[in-house]
Structure 1
Amino acid sequence: MRTDPVRSLIEPTQGTALAVSYLRVSTKEQAEKGGTDEGFSIPAQREANRRKAELLGAVIVEEFIDAGESARKADRPKLMQMIQYVKTHRVAYCIVHKVDRLARNRADDVTIHLALQQAGVMLVSATESIDETPSGMLLHGIMSTIAEFYSLNLAAEVIKGMTQKASNGGTIGRAPIGYLNVRIRDDLGRELRTVQLDPDRASLVEWAYKAYASGNWTVSQLHDELTSRGLTSVATPKNPSKPLVVSSVYRMLTNPYYKGDVIYCGVSYKGAHEPLVPAEVWYQVQSVLTAHKSACEATQLHDHYLKGTIHCGSCGSRMIVSNAKNRHGNVYPYFVCAGRHAKRTTCTRGAILIEGVERLIEKYYQRVQITLAQREALAGMLRHEFDRLMSAEADELAQLTTNRDRLEREQTRLMQAHYADAIPLSVLKREQDRILGELDQVNRRLDAHHSEYTDARAHLDDALSLLANCADIYARCDDANRRLCNQAFFTKIYIDEDDQLRVENARPFEMLLDPQINADALTWAANANKAQTSAIDPSGQGSNLVRRVGPVGLEPTTRGLKV
């Protein structure tokens, strides 16, 4: 049995100084070396600390052991227990074998030492002359700095050695399943550590890659098959051999080690080990994994094309898909209020069959599809309004054009003056920068004038064409394109308690479907045919439709829909 790392030791006599002993090894291997419960280091530290306590005339009353804990971190469990212990008990000394058992950086050393001082405890080293005297404090500081340097230097040397090993094709750490870490001796009797194919597992790993590359398996199915074929992990002194878990199979399929590469610190090196699968098979497996992942995500995100668009008319929450099964095993998909389902709201909205919601939306498209006469009237009124707005801004366009011509002439005169040595280079650069900046602003404004209305006209024409055929288009669409249609027309669709639809139309359809706008368009068309007049509304001020719609169109959301 392993000794309890916190142990009550000798019962002190009256007037005897009390001490605690702190012991630590960095790795679990050190703690179990030699097949014993404590290895070799901990008993040696304990004996040294005991002898130091005798020299101090003290008795160790508690012992704290961190087995397999690095001194690079200060939140070691037994160290924390020791600090709490000395705060609540009258202890004179804290004995460590060496300063580096306590901490290996100056910041942690200062923090731990300060906590001990505040508890009235003196830190004592069994092998170093460290105490509270000035010379002892000086030595403490020096030894702490040396310990920190040793730790940092050791880490740098380890990384350097591992990088060199990886660059030579060596395997870092334990080889993955399908390979074995082995020790052999060369002709001179020197021990070499290398990697060889595992005769019991390599063929199964190779089969797994080729099977998955075919695209006919999922990772879960492959895991089940490998388990049935007897693939297990390699036994260790602590863990027996056992079947792999699904995540281990996935990591195996994504590990480039099997195609002959060694990865260390994010850098790929050509390995010296024998590749288990050809590179083209490995890359094919990655392609299949990506395809399966994308298909899985798509299924999870879009299990119905209306999901994300439908909202509860009572509380405004999204409506989510829920499948109900009757006693005969038939499954019926419903939309249910997410607020009621999660009990975030007091909503009482009942579930509604998804098939019923689909029919409601199809009927809505039939109801809002405009006639050819409405389309021509809206198009004529919009074009007239665009022309009116362009003419209203003709003065601004003329002024912008005049400014552009003036700046270009000024730029030419400036260059001529410089060539005639009338102005120095510094003045030329400064003035050129000013002119170029003003020209850029003017040209951008001119481009905006021309492109803004051109783009808006094109987008609104597309919207009208879509609106004139929306019911027919929606009826012919598959689920993916129905999703696109709904995203183009609506921001939200609400289902009320009486199973009626309320919609929030997206731009520009909230204007094009406005009854008043449609009435104005028909009136304008009738007046235009009779009197060839540009009046759009009774006030004679023109419709505000174009400015309300703006240049934002449908291209991002309806691309791919054919009218």
Structure 2
Amino acid sequence: MKRCYAYIRVSTLRQGEGVSLEVQQAAITDFASRQNLSIVRWFEEKETAAKCGRPIFTRMVKELRQGRADALIIHKLDRLTRNLTEYAKIGELIDAGVDVHTAVDSLDFRSRGGRLTAEIQAVIAADYVRNLREETLKGMNGRLKQGLYPFRAPIGYLDTGRGQPKTLDPVRAPLVRKAFELYATRQYSIKTLLPKLQSLGLTNRVGGRLSLHGVETLLNNPFYTGVIRIKRNGQSFPGVHERLISPALFERVQEIKSGKYGPMVTRHNHTYQGLFRCGLCNGPMVPERQKGTVYYRCPNTDCATKTVREDVLVTSIEACLSQAELTETNAEAATKEIERWVREAKHRDTVTGLKLRQDNLEARQHRLTDALVDGMIEKNTFNERQQALLLEAEALRQEQASAANYTAKAAHLRSVIELTKRLQQSHEMADRGQKRRIVEMTTSNRIVIEKNVYLEPQNWLQEVKKLASTPAGDPSRIEDRTFERIIDRYDESLQRVEEKFRTRTLSL
């Protein structure tokens, strides 16, 4: 009696839970009985035949080539393969003397007509798969353009059915937000963040144990900011689902992951760790304690910048803060300018400025698309810039959503003015955590070259300084956008620092 292998297949695990495999097995068993064939081994696969690389199919073909069976029985040809590459392997088996039988349509692979019929069916099956793929992609792209995510919801969201936006998972969503906030503190690496999230109870989508790769994927997904990014082709789309984190927090996490801020965790958690870089090689100045004194050194041994004591950094920081401070006279002048701005701004439509920015953003999006069509930029560059524009558009929508309240903004500006009157004193009296907070919020471009320390005030401080030092008597001397810019830049600095310190406190 001829020894045979039997092969049955379904395209997905979900199909495998139905009766398809049982039907195939019953038909093959009945066929073998009628043809007096002995089935010595069954091969069952739950994998699509449209792609190459099915492990069970590959193992079965290998054993047939080794002569471990004389024939192969399948249900129908399209159950065996739907791509021409794998059909060619079946043709090689037939040429090597292995008989192939189909239980349903009874193709004769030994005759010329039978082989021709089988090859035609294989071509038709391959074309069917290609057409099905195109139609599926067309439907997915339609959903994506509507702002809908046509795949399984990421961790922190729930599926609500076809044609519906994902909704926040009441259990996992707060923990996902916590993951971004904790990582933004720079007190955790990916490896140390994983056990922290596991202890908080964050699991994967199916309720299993969260993995290191899962944390990496989570922190790299802009879906949580309202932007859908398709990893396969790099395209991005604005989503209609509820946003979980701010674009600013997401961008900060990406900057930390890329190493822009230097090492994230140190043994002693030094005050200015990660805030200064070498001005010659751009490496992070690494803190270390020697005989009770903290030094910051350049990690590049060939660099001319070696080490600088922490007290030298403190002297430079306080000198910078002292120069940025306002005198009482300048603070009073700045307050009068704020009051003038409020009086005049109340008579104008503040939405106009936002409308201009919206129009500018749309024009940039159109120019980016035109550049892709004209072949001026590559597809990867287009996808990266498109994602950046979508994040910017999301931030602008948030700004448009909150109505301009000039009275509140004026009070906000006055509090900023008060802050700039005592910067150096605030730094001197602060504890270690607050010192770091003040430096990060008020200074930028912090570098060390050899033994010299350089840094400058943040943009919002420079704007306040200009506001306070403008000669009086010229009501048109300051643009309205200057006041908005001070608030925007101050709030941006404050938001980044507050998120980090708030989540650090929660994690203790």
TM-score (norm 2): 0.48
State the structure with more CA Rg: 1
Relative to the length of structure 1, the TM-score reads 0.44
